[in-house]
Structure 1
Amino acid sequence: MSAYLLGNLLGRLVLSYALVWLLLCLTVARLNWREAFRRTNHWSGLSASITTFLIGLIAAQPNGLSP
């Protein structure tokens, strides 16, 4: 695994976590960032982060078969 691929995957994972945290902070936690972190680190927040990460990977796949 190259450093480029590893950086791309880690970056996508961090951005997925940040997106879920921001969504929770703006909606459920009512702009309380500590509450948003608590909810994001719950199993449902982590599963939302992983789902967002996987959707991003699937959307980035080129059309056709990968080599």
Structure 2
Amino acid sequence: MKDLSKIVVFAVLVLALAPFGGFWIVALIGAGLLVLPVGAVIAKFFPKTWHRIEEGIFDKTHAMPAP
């Protein structure tokens, strides 16, 4: 009986928090759909700026100190 109550509590918790999870999934996908065209425009019209952005994102030397 104790296990059944744990399962019921977990199911209610999942159902209560599901809308919040759905909101964040939709929000992140929407933000991604907005950022992709903006990045394409920057890359097209400002290639030097885009190159600096890429270096900042993909350059690992600034994130990790030298041994």
Q: Determine if the TM-score, normalized by the shorter chain, exceeds 0.5.
A: no
In terms of Rg, which structure is larger?
2
Which has the larger helix fraction?
2
Q: Which has the higher contact order (CA 8 A, sep 6+)?
A: 1
- TM-score, with structure 1 as normaliser: 0.40
